[in-house]
A and B are shown apart, each in its own frame.
Chain A
Amino acid sequence: MPAVKGAGWMLDKLMMSLQFPFVQYALIVGVLIALCSALLGVTLVLKRFSFIGDGLSHVAFGAMAIAAVLNLSNELLLVLPVTVVCAVLLLRTGKNTKIKGDAAIAMISVGALAIGYLIMNLFSTSTNLTGDVCSTLVGSVSILTLTPAEVWLCVILSIAVMVIFVLFYNKIFAVTFDESFAKATGTKTDAYNLLIAVIIAVIIVLAMNLVGSLLISALIIFPALSAMRVFKSFKAVTICSAVLSVICALTGLMISILAETPVGSTIVAADIVAFAVFWIAGSIMNRA
């Protein structure tokens, strides 16, 4: 029977791929990044911060371009600090009523994109410039090839993000639900907003490897929106969003191995399918 044969072939191919360390690395990194971005995604969506994520991902692209031109051995060492600094700045301007927050973000993000491309075009020694730019924007065409050092950095940063999220969960909830109440009653909201901004920056830089800078927002927003369709407590939404994101990332990665599709877009496609399912489930539940 062809269907069985097809399934067998798929399993074989998957098993064979999983033998390769670089595939294992990609899976580990993919799961961790998906988990982190979904955890923070809930807060980002609810705080109406998602636009900051979008702006930052473009900044990260610009920084990546500069790092590529400078031929840095580890690009993250430049990209991470630059993105963190921009996150802090964006958060500041977001609160400043005189400069329109969203306009400032649009300026920075489009500016970084243009300058980044310009720099790569002018100075890059690469023979495949379009390919480089494309993969920085929408993720690599095939499964990622990460060095063990990159994997370790990613693992350490992801774990740090998760630990911080758990330790500050209650404070993040308080600041997200009602910032003025939290501030009025003595919670250091500015410090926690700063913490959130820094974590977002870290996640974006990490996620850039996986899905590319244009698709990061999808990784952050989709699982949170899906979970919010169905669940009604902050905790349930956060947990569901994290689980869903991991499942989508794994599914996307597997499909991209089997069908040889681009990793980033495949993961995002999986997120979209999940969103559709949750949207329908939510509608049915609300009517019942």
Chain B
Amino acid sequence: MALLTCKNLKLGYETGVVIDDLSFTVNNGDYLCIVGENGSGKTTLMKTLLGLHSPISGSVATGDGLRHDQIGYLPQQTVVQRDFPATVWEIVLSGCQNRCGMRPFYNKEEKRLAMKNIVRMGLGELTKRCYRELSGGQQQRVLLARALCATQQLILLDEPVSGLDPKVTADMYSLIDDINKRDGITVIMISHDMNAAVEYASHILHIGDRIFFGTTAEYIRSGIGFAGGKGGGMDA
């Protein structure tokens, strides 16, 4: 049984259908990269996988005992309320919420985990700082640290490197690779960066005019992502 099985998904809003007839599976330990142009429905698909958005038709089935409280999620940079008073520490720690169940307070282990991920993201100095006063890249790293806290089996990342400088981007990719290969956590990542997708992912899902799903090797052979001759990237 696969971790996630999507069958004949049709996704969209009142305004129209965005993706039609999409089927794919994600197995335990996979590293799936979702690529496609802006507006092709990548974020919509991810929200559907997370149960935040319902498909028009088709189904998303979970297997391998995957539970929602074992999933980590990095939303695409949203304008999290500009005036929200919250420190980096409060936000990252809230990623441990799904480990608590009905327990009201965080335990030592969860606090240690939050601290570990804060340091991992290079935010050690900023722990007590207010989220709304950070730069875009720093905010992105805070949300990633939070996602890492929530992750136990599967992590979904919506454009994790947008707004990060090249060095942090490279760190980020090796970190994601690390949690996939070493911790055995399944990764589903939306990316514009074709080079990184091909380098790290085990599987690629291309959505847009043509839909492709398969291993990275198959994807390179198919030449879909590289049509148009640019070779390097989609529309990044």
Q: Interface of A with B (CB < 8 Å)?
A: 46, 166-171, 173-174, 177-178, 180-187, 228, 231-237
Assembled-state Cα–Cα distance A94/B146 (Å): 28
Closest residue of A by beta carbon distance from B67: A186
In the bound complex, do residue B80 and residue A185 qualify as a contact, i.e. CB atoms below 8 Å apart?
Answer: no
In the bound complex, do residue A180 and residue B75 qualify as a contact, i.e. CB atoms below 8 Å apart?
Answer: yes
In the bound complex, do residue B75 and residue A185 qualify as a contact, i.e. CB atoms below 8 Å apart?
Answer: no
Assembled-state Cα–Cα distance A232/B86 (Å): 6
CB distance from B176 to the nearest CB of A (A): 17
CB distance from B45 to the nearest CB of A (A): 13
In the bound complex, do residue A186 and residue B80 qualify as a contact, i.e. CB atoms below 8 Å apart?
Answer: no
In the bound complex, do residue B87 and residue A233 qualify as a contact, i.e. CB atoms below 8 Å apart?
Answer: yes
Asked if B95 is at the interface (CB within 8 A of a chain A CB), the reply is: yes
In the bound complex, do residue B146 and residue A181 qualify as a contact, i.e. CB atoms below 8 Å apart?
Answer: yes
In the bound complex, do residue A232 and residue B52 qualify as a contact, i.e. CB atoms below 8 Å apart?
Answer: no
Count the B residues whose beta carbon is within 8 Å of the partner chain — how many?
Answer: 37
Q: Interface of B with A (CB < 8 Å)?
A: 47, 50-52, 67-73, 75, 80-81, 83-87, 90-91, 93-95, 97-98, 100, 104-106, 128, 130, 132-133, 146, 150, 156
CB distance from B3 to the nearest CB of A (A): 15
Closest residue of A by beta carbon distance from B87: A233
* Chain B residues in 8 Å Cβ range of A236: 85
In the bound complex, do residue A170 and residue B98 qualify as a contact, i.e. CB atoms below 8 Å apart?
Answer: no
CB distance from A4 to the nearest CB of B (A): 43
Assembled-state Cα–Cα distance A233/B85 (Å): 5
Most buried by A among B70, B71, B90, B130: B90
Assembled-state Cα–Cα distance A236/B85 (Å): 9
In the bound complex, do residue A231 and residue B85 qualify as a contact, i.e. CB atoms below 8 Å apart?
Answer: yes
Supposing A174-B97, A178-B80 touch, asked if A235 and B69 sit within 8 A by C-beta, the answer is: no
Q: Which 4 A-B residue pairings sit nearest by Cβ, starting from the closest? A: A186-B69, A186-B68, A232-B130, A184-B50
Chain A interface mostly helix, strand, loop or mixed? helix
Assembled-state Cα–Cα distance A168/B52 (Å): 23
* Chain B residues in 8 Å Cβ range of A234: 85-87, 90
Chain B interface mostly helix, strand, loop or mixed? mixed
Assembled-state Cα–Cα distance A180/B47 (Å): 9
Assembled-state Cα–Cα distance A228/B84 (Å): 8
Closest residue of B by beta carbon distance from A179: B52
Assembled-state Cα–Cα distance A184/B150 (Å): 10
Q: B47, B70, B100, B150: which contacts A170 (Cβ < 8 A)?
A: B100
In the bound complex, do residue A169 and residue B86 qualify as a contact, i.e. CB atoms below 8 Å apart?
Answer: no
CB distance from B109 to the nearest CB of A (A): 15
Closest residue of B by beta carbon distance from A237: B85
Assembled-state Cα–Cα distance A219/B111 (Å): 34
In the bound complex, do residue A184 and residue B51 qualify as a contact, i.e. CB atoms below 8 Å apart?
Answer: yes
Assembled-state Cα–Cα distance A171/B103 (Å): 10
Assembled-state Cα–Cα distance A183/B52 (Å): 7
Supposing A173-B94, A178-B75, A232-B87 touch, asked if A185 and B51 sit within 8 A by C-beta, the answer is: no
* Chain B residues in 8 Å Cβ range of A178: 75, 80, 94
Assembled-state Cα–Cα distance A229/B90 (Å): 19
CB distance from B198 to the nearest CB of A (A): 27
Supposing A173-B90, A186-B68 touch, asked if A167 and B75 sit within 8 A by C-beta, the answer is: no
Assembled-state Cα–Cα distance A185/B74 (Å): 10
In the bound complex, do residue A184 and residue B52 qualify as a contact, i.e. CB atoms below 8 Å apart?
Answer: yes
In the bound complex, do residue B104 and residue A185 qualify as a contact, i.e. CB atoms below 8 Å apart?
Answer: no
In the bound complex, do residue B97 and residue A235 qualify as a contact, i.e. CB atoms below 8 Å apart?
Answer: no
CB distance from B128 to the nearest CB of A (A): 8
* Chain A residues in 8 Å Cβ range of B106: 170
In the bound complex, do residue A186 and residue B86 qualify as a contact, i.e. CB atoms below 8 Å apart?
Answer: no
